[in-house]
Amino acid sequence: MESSKKKNVKKKESKNYRLVIQEEKTYKEKFNLKLSKSNVFLIGTFISLIIISITASIIFFTPLREYIPGYDTTKMRLQAINNLEKLDSLINKLSTNKNYLSAVFKTINGEEYKSVYVNESEKINIDLSELNMSLKAEDSILRKVVEREDKFNVIESETQKLSLEMSPPVRGIIIESFDVSIKHYGIDIVLKEQTPVKAVADGIVLLSEWTIDSGHTVIVYHRDRFTSVYKHNYLSKVKTGDYVKKGQIVALSGNTGELTSGPHLHFEIWDSNGPINPEDLIIF
């Protein structure tokens, strides 16, 4: 009995099939294919691999790949690089603005601030006589030609002009000039008390507050990264965040704060590198 059962199992396992295609009317055989479990599995695997290969080729070698979630395109990569450059630029600008505002507030509070502008007395004198220079006649002729052409260079002269035009905040007598060596970063103009003090250019009020050293102080931020400072005022006529026009009254002059010896206006101009002599930019 056991031997007969084993034979029946072997017969069941070794069964093969045939796929036949015949004509409907004549039953004539047109195509036949011998089938077994093994070759059906192989044929199915082969067909699946072909379908997978074709699908992968269509996805990875055609624009359809851009619709796959998470796949980055050339446009996306360029945009990412551009965003990184903008972010780096913004970080640098924020750092510069932070240093700039820190310098302004340190000056207002009377703290020490090292300016990047070098005083005339601190410039290093170079003895040109120590240099061994042998000039030829051709060099002298070329120098004369360049000097003559640069004399009438309109483009260079235009680019050197200051793009921001400023008007004087008040009209008066300057009793103390700009001097970095003694940390006097502006000019003092003697005035009667409550004389109108005007904005030198359009801008936004960064600060309009009372300080112990400078009394009522107004700071206005202008375009091209210029800032004007007005100290020792009797009264401020604007508040922080206000937009002011050129010539608009921002304060009334006075004699407030501990660092004053009489009615006057202490006026400063700053840019991103430090304080600038107001007399170099404005005719008082």
Helix extents (H) in the chain: 2-13, 37-60, 74-108, 137-151, 154-159
Distance, in Å, from the CA atom of 272 to the CA atom of 128, rounded to the nearest integer, reads 33
Whether 136 is covered by a domain: the verdict is no
- Divide the 284 residues of the chain into consecutive groups of 10 and give the mean pLDDT of each group: 55 67 81 77 88 84 70 73 87 81 69 54 53 59 61 46 78 93 93 95 93 94 92 94 94 93 94 91 89
- Give the contacts of 197 (CB within 8 A, at least 6 positions apart): 169, 170, 218, 230, 233, 249, 250, 251, 252, 253, 265
Whether 241 is covered by a domain: the verdict is yes
User: For the CA atoms of 34, 38, 44, 48, what is the dihedral angle to 10 degrees?
Assistant: -150
Q: What is the pLDDT of residue 118?
A: 45
CATH at 204: 2.70.70.10
Q: What is the pLDDT of residue 109?
A: 65
Would you state the structure tokens that stand for residue 113, as one six-digit string? Answer: 């601030």
Q: What is the pLDDT of residue 51?
A: 92
User: From the centroid of its chain, how far is CA 18?
Assistant: 76
Whether 183 is covered by a domain: the verdict is yes
**Partners of 198 in the β-ladder:** 249
Whether 267 is covered by a domain: the verdict is yes
Name the domain boundary from 43, 60, 77.
Answer: 60
Q: What is the pLDDT of residue 36?
A: 76
User: Could you say which DSSP state residue 132 is in?
Assistant: -
Whether 163 is covered by a domain: the verdict is no
Distance, in Å, from the CA atom of 88 to the CA atom of 95, rounded to the nearest integer, reads 11
Whether 68 is covered by a domain: the verdict is no
Whether 166 is covered by a domain: the verdict is no
pLDDT tens digits for range 179-208:
999 999 999 999 999 999 999 999 999 999
Would you state the structure tokens that stand for residue 77, as one six-digit string? Answer: 């990569």
- Number of domains making up the chain: 2
pLDDT tens digits for range 67-117:
666 666 667 778 888 888 888 888 888 887 787 777 777 666 666 656 554
Is residue 257 classed as helix, strand or coil in its secondary structure? coil
- Give the contacts of 36 (CB within 8 A, at least 6 positions apart): 16, 17
Q: Residues 236, 248: contact at Cβ < 8 Å?
A: no
Whether 221 is covered by a domain: the verdict is yes
Domain that holds residue 44: 2-60
Q: What is the pLDDT of residue 121?
A: 46
Would you state the structure tokens that stand for residue 57, as one six-digit string? Answer: 């080729």
